[in-house]
A and B are shown apart, each in its own frame.
Chain A
Amino acid sequence: QVQLQESGPGLVKPSQTLSLTCTVSGGSISSGGYYWSWIRQHPGKGLEWIGYIYYSGSTYYNPSLKSRVTISVDTSKNQFSLKLSSVTAADTAVYYCARVTDMGYFDYWGQGTLVTVSS
C-alpha cells in the first residue's frame, strides 16, 4: 500500500520561500509509471494543481504558479519536494502531495499539511 506524508514548516513569513517534502513509502518513485504531484486547497475552497515531477526529474507546473514553483526529486530518499517563492497570504492553504497515474488521476494522497503565511 503506497503512502505519502508531507512535512515542513507550518508557518512561513511573507516574501519568503515555502518548502515542503513528501516522503513516499510502500513503493519506489524510481519504478516509473507514475508522476508525483503537489496540490493545494485554500481554506474552505476547491483544489488547485501546482505541478508534477517524474522520477527522471522532468517537471511541469501550473502556468499560474510557474514563475514561483520548483519541484525536485530525491530518488535515494524516495522523496520529492516543493518550493514556492515570494509567498503572500494568498498562498495560505493545505498542501497535499499525491501520486498521479499515467492516465492522469490522483490515486494516492498524503494527509495534507496546513501552511500559513503570516508575519
Chain B
Amino acid sequence: EIVLTQSPATLSLSPGERATLSCRASQSVSSYLAWYQQKPGQAPRLLIYDASNRATGIPARFSGSGSGTDFTLTISSLEPEDFAVYYCQQRSNWPPGYTFGQGTKLEIK
C-alpha cells in the first residue's frame, strides 16, 4: 500500500502570505495525485487533480506541482477563507484503491 505523508502537520500564516504544503508518496504515483480542502463541519472539496490541474471553480491562487513521489500545493496569497485542512490523495491501479495523507492544518497566525 502506498503511504502519503504530508508536511507540515500545521502551518501558521497570515492572510496575504504564500502557503506551501507538501505531500510525499512512499513510492511513485506518477501524476495521479489530488488535493482537497476541508473546512470544519463540511465535506472535502476537490481542488487539484492529476497533480497540477485545478478543478472546476477553483481560484487561480491555488496551484499544484510535482510528480513521482514529491508534490506541492501552493496558495499564492492567502485569503481568509483558505484557512482549513488540506489532504492529498492518490489512486492505485493495482490493487485498486485510494489513500489519503494525514492532512495539513492551515491556521491563521
Query: Which of under 10, 10 to 19, 20 to 34, or 35 or more describes the interface residues of A?
Result: 20 to 34
Asked if residues B43 and A112 are in contact (CB atoms below 8 Å), the reply is yes
Candidate in A46, A48, A111 with the most chain B CB atoms within 10 angstroms: A46
Which residues of B in the span 51-109 have a Cβ within 8 Å of any Cβ on A? 55, 87, 89-91, 95-103
Count how many chain B residues have C-beta atoms less than 8 Å from C-beta atoms of the other chain: 24
Contact with B along A107-119 (1 / 0, CB 8 A): 1011110000000
B34: chain A residues within 8 A (beta carbon): 104-106
Q: Which of A62, A105, A110, A112 contacts B89 (CB 8 A)?
A: A105
Asked if residues B97 and A62 are in contact (CB atoms below 8 Å), the reply is yes
A49: chain B residues within 8 A (beta carbon): 97-100
Q: Which of A62, A101, A104, A106 contacts B44 (CB 8 A)?
A: A106
**Do most interface residues of chain B lie in helix, strand or loop, or is the interface mixed?**
strand
Given known A109-B43, A111-B43, contact A46–B102 (CB-CB < 8 A): yes
A117 to B37 CA separation, bound complex (whole angstroms): 27
A26: chain B residues within 8 A (beta carbon): none
Contact with B along A84-112 (1 / 0, CB 8 A): 00000000000010101101111101111
A47 to B35 CA separation, bound complex (whole angstroms): 13
B43: chain A residues within 8 A (beta carbon): 96, 98, 109-112
Closest beta carbon of chain A to B45's beta carbon, Å: 8
Asked if residues B97 and A105 are in contact (CB atoms below 8 Å), the reply is no
Closest beta carbon of chain B to A70's beta carbon, Å: 17
Binding site for B on A (CB under 8 A): 37, 46-49, 60, 62-63, 96, 98, 100-101, 103-107, 109-112
Binding site for A on B (CB under 8 A): 32, 34, 36, 42-46, 49-50, 55, 87, 89-91, 95-103
